[in-house]
Structure 1
Amino acid sequence: MLSNITVFDFETTGLDPVNERVIEMAAIRVVNGEITTGFHTLVKPGRELTPKITEITGITDEMLTDAMDESLAFRIFRNIMGDSLLVAHNAAFDLQFLHHTLQRLAGKSFSNPFIDTLTISRERHTYPHKLTDMCAKYGIVLDGAHRALNDVIGCWELLKAMHAAEPVDVFLNRLGYLSKYGPPDWVPEHATIFGTQNKYETREVV
């Protein structure tokens, strides 16, 4: 199941995958449980960052001055991922950016299978489900969250821990979304989507 995967993460200028741009990407290719390839780069967005994005990511306009061109960055990423199983935390977000960027740059998308560790988190655990929270639940040290490379390593460790606890095979190509917000605007054709809601720990009323 996890013998040929690419764990990846994008940091972006905003939430809209059509109009916003990727400013940082990271990916690791895992074959038979071993990391065989890693890729990490800042990406020129062609626009200035908002103070909020800099606050969240720690990335500044100055850091992006000598960043990699978007077209080259995505060509490299496309070569790394090949036909592997894609893995991300909150995959609906990253898969949308991947799709719309490939469409804009190359006029095509992707057909890779995928697993979303956030969907697994919501099914198996109580709120909160951020990558930092989930790593903490499994005793995984995650340094520097919201930087792409750190998030990728954390997501890989989280996937391994989840799979060891109970096989994640049933989550292949499944995307859960919070019902109160509605489904994503775009999902892969092979995705099965379903509404869900956060589970909360019950508290005793004193």
Structure 2
Amino acid sequence: MKRYTMAQFEAGERLKAHKKVFQGLDPTKPLSEFSFCVLDTELTGLRRRHEIISIGAVRIEHLALKPLDRFYTEVCPKAWTKTGTLIHRISPQQCQDAPKIGKVLPELIAYLGTSLLIGHNIALDLQFLQKACKKHLGHPLVHPCIDTLRLARVYEESRWESYYDRFTLRVSYQLQELAQAYGLPCFPAHNAASDALQTAYLFVYLVHKLRETHPLVTLEELYRCGRGWRWYF
């Protein structure tokens, strides 16, 4: 039988309580009434055996970014790869001194609260977070999620429909390239804290731009606008 620390047990109980909250979610409420947490993880690699080496998050309230309300931690993995240093610029020594994922998760769950999650290609982040939560907390994350990559595709398609002669179909959906294309503030890539902040700017920008062509007041309308997004309960 798996043994949990008190912090892990309490985090698992919090996730169970969150599930009831999200089951009673009212999608007809205005977007401005929801709290969002923009989430990003950095990994030792993309295979199932690879691990999380850092987690970053930033909060959005009333559709306004709260840049000072942030969460960031490096994580000590079981095994190190050169990818962590070459891509993420995190040294083995930094990770060796960092807490293990089992200690980090209760702090992350407390920070997320009952906020909805936002991420760029967030399914990848959730793949590793869900695995860690099930192992160390006994329960999965249950937060509904919104993917800014899908949201960007909807926005680009709306531009093509109206102005097909002005735009190229060769659009890059990489986070930093979208930020440059839309004239948003740009932050260093491959860092969980700055990527979360970059994604937050992108989300707020896209919601405001899509409102020019879509009825986009409630959470339900946002979901319909990007039909096909995955929701996790």
Q: TM-score, normalised by structure 2?
A: 0.69
Q: CA 1:11/1:55 → structure 2, altered by over 3 Å: closer, same or farther?
A: same
Q: How does 1:93-172 map to 2 (within 5 A)?
A: 93-125=124-156, 126=169, 127-167=171-211, 169-170=222-223
Is 1:8 aligned with 2:39? Answer: yes
Number of aligned residue pairs: give it.
177
Query: Match of 1:25, SS?
Result: strand
Residues 133-154 of structure 1: per-residue CA shift (max 9 Å, x gap) = 1111111122211101110111
Q: Which amino acid aligns with 1:62?
A: Q
- The farther-off stretch of 35-44 and 166-175 is 166-175
Q: Is the 8 A contact 1:113 1:173 kept in 2?
A: no
Query: Match of 1:128, SS?
Result: coil
Q: CA 1:98/1:146 → structure 2, altered by over 3 Å: closer, same or farther?
A: same
1:34 offset after TM fit, Å? 4.7
1:172 offset after TM fit, Å? 6.5
Query: Match of 1:7, SS?
Result: strand
Q: How does 1:67-78 map to 2 (within 5 A)?
A: 67-78=98-109
Instruction: Return the structure number with greater strand share.
Output: 1
Q: Which of structures 1 and 2 has the larger relative contact order (alpha carbons within 8 angstroms, sep 6+)? A: 2
Gaps spanning 5+ residues in structure 1: where?
176-186, 191-206
* RMSD between superposed Cα atoms in Å: 2.1
Q: Choose 1 or 2 for highest CA Rg.
A: 2
Q: TM-score, normalised by structure 1?
A: 0.78
Percent of residue pairs bearing the same amino acid type? 25
Q: Is the 8 A contact 1:116 1:174 kept in 2?
A: no
